[in-house]
Structure 1
Amino acid sequence: MYIRLKPAHFIAITLIVCLMPVLAVSGGIKERMRSRIPALKVLKAEGIIGENNRGYLEFRAPETQKQLVMAENADRKTVYQAIAKKQGATLELVEQLRARQIAEKALPGVWIQLPDGTWKKK
């Protein structure tokens, strides 16, 4: 399910989502998220985690790195909330747009949750 937006709103929100790393500077979020990238790449490559259809990580296998995934998702939510507030958009819309962007950039073999809730390997 996708929400229909006016072109101007879509462009503005897409711009903000693309600028997310810039917005995440406050509170050390950017640094924390960057430091997790190597470990998250390994978990994705091993099929332990995937990217869900709301822009968050989700376990696809035993929760061996639960703290890492929980910390990443908490920071993502903080960033998404900041974007939503700044743009006057809903958190749900920002999550959906970010999920789509993450799915497009994901490497082959990463689990991606589709909008209908089903999972597939990219």
Structure 2
Amino acid sequence: MNQTRYLWFMATVVVGVFLFSASACCGDIKQRMKDRLPRIIELKAAGIIGENSQGLLAFVGGDRQEQALVEAENKDRQLVYRAIAQQQGTTAAVVGQRRALQIAEKAKPGEWLQDAGGKWVQK
């Protein structure tokens, strides 16, 4: 096998391994997020957390119930936003801001949302 063919072969293998790892990773993320969702819905309904303008969860007041859960959700969201940003040729921050707008549209009455200026409002 000549050097050019070998390099193409190795590049294909590396890309294949990366894509397999990414799909496995994202599947895990999706399941973790799905598992957390019922508790997140409860915390939103109780007014403890809301959705900030960056597409992440944030505490609205001083009550920090389930801080580890909120941090885990935000970590996974950031991983997803980075992956989407890479696909779209943009930044994770832009993806998060776009997602925040989508989340705000679907928010239930009474849920807390942070506007672009940082002010918390109830829908």
Distance 2:83 2:99 in 1: 13
SS at match of 1:58: strand
TM (norm. structure 1) is: 0.78
What fraction of aligned residue pairs are identical, expressed as a percent? 52
**Could you say which structure has the higher helix fraction?**
2
How far off its partner does 1:26 sit?
2.2
Deviations, residues 48-72 of structure 1 (Å, cap 9, x unaligned)? 0000000000001311110000000
2:45 aligned with 1:45: yes
Does 1 or 2 have the higher relative contact order (CA < 8 Å, sep 6+)?
Answer: 1
Query: Do 1:50 and 1:57's aligned partners in 2 also have CA atoms closer than 8 Å?
Result: yes
2:96 aligned with 1:95: yes
Task: State the superposition RMSD in angstroms.
Answer: 1.5
Where in structure 2 are there 5+ consecutive unaligned residues?
1-22
Label 1:91 to 1:24 Cα distance change in 2 as closer, same or farther (>3 A): farther
Distance 2:75 2:55 in 1: 11
In our comparison, the structure showing a higher alpha carbon Rg is 2
Where in structure 1 are there 5+ consecutive unaligned residues?
1-22
Distance 1:109 1:24 in 2: 36
How far off its partner does 1:24 sit?
9.0
How far off its partner does 1:91 sit?
1.4
TM (norm. structure 2) is: 0.77
Deviations, residues 11-36 of structure 1 (Å, cap 9, x unaligned)? xxxxxxxxxxxx89725000000011
Query: Do 1:24 and 1:79's aligned partners in 2 also have CA atoms closer than 8 Å?
Result: no
Label 1:98 to 1:24 Cα distance change in 2 as closer, same or farther (>3 A): farther
SS at match of 2:50: strand
